[in-house]
Every structure is written in C-alpha cells, then in structure tokens.
C-alpha cells in the first residue's frame, strides 16, 4: 500500500474476524468509511486484515449487528511505539543521561603535558595557563582555541622563543623552545675582521688577532680592522680574529605622517552568540537575531566536539561581537613632527642589531604638504661594524 509511513504515524492494527457473513461485514465497514487493507482469508469463516487505529475504535459497533466476532492480533505504529517508550522511560532517560555525561566528560580538560621546558619555566607556563582558565576539570569550550593559547603564552612569557600547543582528545600537549639556550662554542676558521660600512671608530675590544685601527680613525667599507695574521715575518701564523669594533655610522630616513587620521576603536559594548555547526548548518543555542550594533567586528572561536577518543562532525562556535566607533585623531604640527621622529627611530632600529644605539638625530628637511608632515632625518648610530672575512693559509700577512 502507498504512503505506509502515514499509516505508521497514525497507528495500525491487525484484526481477526470469525463467523458467518464475512463479506457482508466487510461491505458494511467500507460503506461507513473505514479503510481496510491486506485482507486475507483463513478457511471459510475466518479473515484477517489491517486497519487504522482510529477506525479500530469504531469496529465493535458494527460487529454487534452482525454474526461475526472480532479480535485484535497485532498493534504497530507510532502511538504504540510511543507508549512502549513511555513505559520504559526510566531506562531511556538513564541511557540519554549516560551518553550526555560521556559527551560532557569527553570535552573537558583532563591532562596538560609540557615538554622541552625547564622546571621554573614549566611553573611559569602552568601559572599562565591557570590565568587563562586552561586547567584540569575545565570545559574546553570555555577556553581559547590552541592558536589563542599559543599566542598568549608567547607574548606573556619572555623566556619562550616558541611554544606549540596541540589538543589530543582531552589532553593539551605543549612543546616548548626556550630562549638563551647554551650555545655551542663556535669553531671559527682563520679570519680577519673588516668594516661592514664606513664609520669613525669610537671604541675597540679585541679578543684575538692584531688590531690595525685606533679610536677616531675614519674607515671605509671593507677596510681591515683586526688582522688574523701574527708571528714573525716570514713565518706568519693564522688565527680567527675576534672582537668588537664600535664605530659611529650614519643613516638617513624619510617619513610621512598625516595630521588627521581616521580609524575605528572599540567602545566596550559587545554581544556573545553560541551555536553548534553541523556541516554547513548552524543551530543557534544562545544569542539569537542580528547584532544590534551598526558597526562591529566579530571574533569567532571554534571547538570540535569529541566523544571519547573520536572527533564528531560537530563544532561548537562562540562568537564575540564588539561594537566599533569611528574616531578621528588630529595632531598639531609640532606633535606630528615628534611622532614622525619616533616613527623614524623605530624604522631605523628595525635595521640595526639589538646592541646598537642612536646617538643623535638631525632634521635635514621638513615640509607640510597635502595634510602630511614630511621629514628627512639624519641619524648618528653607534654600532659594532666588525664582520669576519676568511683568510687562507697562503696569505702572507
């Protein structure tokens, strides 16, 4: 029969009818709008058929006026299935609660393993993780994702060069690389120290080798500063010249800074939305509708849902929507000039070694054009200008 799922939804019963006048009884049922199907004869005075549950409640009325007896053999369909489920509701609720408990426990943090860190550094890392809420017993959905944890640890702990964070099941695995690791003694081949750029010598420190320049000497790029050749004439010996030759060098920087800048800032107002993602389908849990803000930025944090060791095709999505406002920053000519100098210093420092210092700066040219302060600045820098240059055993000096 067609549309059996509809009959399943309403419920159906199998009816057995015995007696005389079976055909007449069936005709009475059909004339009164009772729908029957799968009619089967079993001998001369017995038939069975199926009918809807709602019609089965009416059939006894018609049986009283006939010579037939009816009995119900089988019940099936949604109403009877629901009745059985309600009868066993305690078991079903217990099973559902057990599965939900396993699902909940599978998405908690039960372990944090840290490798590659010294004891004091590991203590700092665990302390920082506690501040972020990454601790045993915490639900994974309530903490940052692994990228956020990695970024915060690197920014907040100065002793870390790099930290890798990986979540496997219910355990966070951290691989740490620390700064200031003991360096292996550098094995240098024979070399001279030469100037990497032109400068005026201001300070010298020679560990090995023969110094050939003095303070206040003017040197050009490539000029010899410390020789790796020493010994008696005719029988020179070679060594790896080591040391530091500090010189005054010169840099020129060109910067342009707008007097008026427009940008967006957060005003502190925010909304949070929580949802589950099944493939491309979003199921909202909390925070419905569109944001009330006109201008905003959305930060999305996603966590995969786990069941025991398996990763389910379900993602928990937490969105933080922050309202933004347009802000205009204006500088006076003097303020813009000072900011431009600071910007130029940052640009210069990015080109220098960490131990280099800015001695002095001088504005060569200043102009205000098209709403911008334009500066050309000359910097005096004190830096180590010595670099190694390999020498061969055939070198006579």
Residues 380-391: tens digit of each pLDDT:
999 999 999 998
Q: pTM for the full model?
A: 0.52
- Sequence-ordered list of residues with C-beta below 8 angstroms from that of 139, at least 6 positions apart, any chain: 104, 107, 108, 109
Rounded-to-integer distance, Cα 337 and Cα 96, Å: 69
SS3 assignment, position 215: coil
Rounded-to-integer distance, Cα 2 and Cα 75, Å: 19
Mean pLDDT of the chain: 86
The pLDDT value recorded for residue 223 is 94
Using alpha carbons only, give the angle 280, 283, 288 rounded to the nearest 5 degrees: 125
Rounded-to-integer distance, Cα 6 and Cα 18, Å: 29
In the predicted model, residues of the chain with pLDDT beneath 50 are 1-2, 395-397
Rounded-to-integer distance, Cα 348 and Cα 131, Å: 37
The pLDDT value recorded for residue 395 is 46
CATH code linked to domain 111-178: 3.10.20
- Using DSSP bridges, classify how beta strands 260-278 and 281-286 pair: parallel, antiparallel or unpaired: antiparallel
Rounded-to-integer distance, Cα 118 and Cα 20, Å: 96
SS3 assignment, position 177: strand
For the domain made up of 4-82, give the CATH fold.
Answer: Alpha-Beta Plaits (3.30.70)
- Sequence-ordered list of residues with C-beta below 8 angstroms from that of 387, at least 6 positions apart, any chain: 193, 194, 195, 196
| Tokens encoding 287 | 């925070």
| Tokens encoding 17 | 């009818």
In the chain, list all ranges with CATH 3.30.70.260: 4-82
Do residues 209 and 227 make contact, with C-beta atoms less than 8 angstroms apart?
yes
| Tokens encoding 198 | 């032109």
The pLDDT value recorded for residue 235 is 75
Rounded to 10 deg, the angle between the 119-132 and 146-156 helix axes is 120
């Amino acid at each position: 029969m067609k549309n059996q799922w509809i009959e399943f939804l309403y419920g159906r019963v199998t009816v057995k009818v015995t007696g005389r006048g079976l055909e007449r009884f069936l005709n009475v049922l059909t004339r009164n709008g009772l729908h029957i199907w799968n009619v089967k004869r079993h001998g001369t005075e017995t038939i069975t058929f199926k009918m809807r549950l709602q019609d089965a409640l009416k059939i006894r009325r018609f049986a009283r006026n006939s010579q037939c007896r009816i009995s119900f053999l089988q019940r099936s369909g949604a109403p009877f299935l629901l009745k059985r489920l309600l009868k066993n509701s305690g078991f079903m609720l217990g099973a559902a609660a057990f599965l939900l408990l396993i699902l909940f426990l599978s998405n908690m943090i039960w372990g944090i393993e840290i490798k590659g860190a010294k004891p004091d550094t590991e203590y700092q890392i665990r302390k920082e993780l506690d501040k972020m809420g990454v601790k045993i017993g915490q639900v994974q959905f309530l903490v940052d994702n692994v990228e956020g944890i990695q970024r915060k640890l690197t920014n907040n702990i100065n002793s870390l060069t790099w930290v890798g964070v990986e979540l496997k099941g219910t355990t966070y695995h951290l691989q740490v690389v620390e700064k200031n690791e003991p360096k292996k003694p550098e094995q240098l081949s024979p070399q001279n120290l030469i100037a990497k750029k032109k400068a005026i010598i201001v300070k010298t420190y020679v560990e090995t080798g023969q110094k050939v320049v003095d303070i206040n000497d003017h040197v050009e790029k490539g000029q010899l500063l410390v020789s790796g050749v020493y010994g008696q004439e005719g029988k020179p010996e070679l060594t790896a010249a080591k040391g530091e030759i500090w010189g005054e060098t010169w840099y020129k920087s060109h910067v342009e800074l707008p007097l008026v800048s427009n940008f967006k800032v957060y005003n502190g107002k925010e909304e949070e939305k929580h949802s589950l993602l099944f493939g491309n389908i979003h199921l909202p849990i909390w925070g419905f509708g569109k944001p009330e803000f006109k201008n905003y930025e959305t930060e999305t944090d996603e966590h995969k849902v786990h069941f025991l060791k398996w990763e389910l095709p379900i993602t928990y999505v937490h969105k933080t929507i922050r309202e933004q406002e347009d802000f205009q920053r204006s500088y006076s000519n003097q303020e813009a000039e000072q900011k431009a100098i600071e910007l130029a210093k940052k640009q210069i420092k990015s080109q220098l070694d960490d131990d280099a210092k800015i001695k002095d700066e001088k504005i060569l040219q200043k102009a205000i054009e098209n709403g911008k302060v334009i500066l050309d600045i000359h910097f005096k820098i004190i830096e180590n200008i010595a670099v190694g240059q390999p020498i061969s055993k055939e070198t006579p000096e």
